[in-house]
Amino acid sequence: MSGHSKWHSIRHKKAAKDEKRGKVLTKHSKVLMVLGQNDSNPETNASLRNAIINAKADGVPKDNIERILKKLSGEGKGSSIYSEQVYEGFGPEGIPFVVTALTDNTNRTYSSIRTAFMKNGGILGNSGSVMFMFNHIGVITIKNSGKSEEALFELAIDAGADNFEYEEEVSEILTVFTDLGRIRDILSEKVEIIKSEPQYRVKDPIKIVDKAVLERIEQFIEAVEEADDIDEIFGGFEVDSRIII
């Protein structure tokens, strides 16, 4: 699957900035609330169990997670009900973007995201306006733990993964979105899983070769990140390594 780029690494570096703003905790709290609405038991709710693993990987304290689970089990009656929303549009240079949000007020969230797009050189589109340009995939991040690239590749393929991207200490295994849970469970018996999550990755990324253009895109993303209830932002571009500092 295409669309992976140096920007992917930049996204992960930005997570540290988000954590300082308290957004990581808020994000994971909402995810847990969404996934645990119908079944608050991680033993029987695989999606909730995976969300807890992801929250811990991002440094969410155990006490916070336990408080959320207690709310879900009945101690938080009357608490907000969150739903996942997906928005599509174009940013600077006509670059397509998919934005996901977790919200208890869809009108507020739509207005906030629409304003962020309009004020920063973008336009929020209708459902389907850019989604055809993206693949909805599952991404499983694992620790290499001394295993060779060849060994990890074989594990990924044997588990049914679509693709594999090796790095020095951690690697990513890419799956069809609907197979994410199944493949994660298979791999969890053989490797240490850091995170597993759905993502949108563009099929044919627009290559950014100009620093000024990259700065406009970064400013646009930062502005959209400040909109109410934002979860993730996926851009349809890749950055030429020569302009990355």
In order, the DSSP letters of 145-209 are TT--HHHHHHHHHHHT-SEEEE-SSEEEEEEEGGGHHHHHHHHTTTS-EEEEEEEEEESSPEEE-
Alpha-helical segments (H) within 1-126: 6-20, 23-35, 46-57, 62-70, 106-119
CATH code reported for the domain at 6-75? 1.10.10.200
Give the span between the Cα atoms of 96 and 156, in whole angstroms.
Answer: 30
Helix (H, G, I), strand (E, B) or coil at 82: coil
The answer to whether residues 240 and 136 touch, using CB atoms and an 8 Å cutoff, is no
The answer to whether residues 104 and 81 touch, using CB atoms and an 8 Å cutoff, is yes
What does the domain layout of the chain look like in residue ranges?
A: 6-75
Give the span between the Cα atoms of 208 and 36, in whole angstroms.
Answer: 40
Helix (H, G, I), strand (E, B) or coil at 214: helix
Question: What residues in the chain have per-residue pLDDT under 70?
Answer: 1-22, 74-80, 245
CA separation (Å) from 240 to 38, 123, 203? 44, 25, 17
What is residue 22's predicted lDDT score, i.e. its pLDDT?
Answer: 66
Give the span between the Cα atoms of 35 and 181, in whole angstroms.
Answer: 14
The answer to whether residues 124 and 114 touch, using CB atoms and an 8 Å cutoff, is yes
Per-residue pLDDT of 31-57, as tens digits, reads 888 888 778 888 888 888 888 888 888
What is residue 155's predicted lDDT score, i.e. its pLDDT?
Answer: 92
Work out whether the CA dihedral 55, 124, 112, 104 comes out positive or negative. Answer: negative
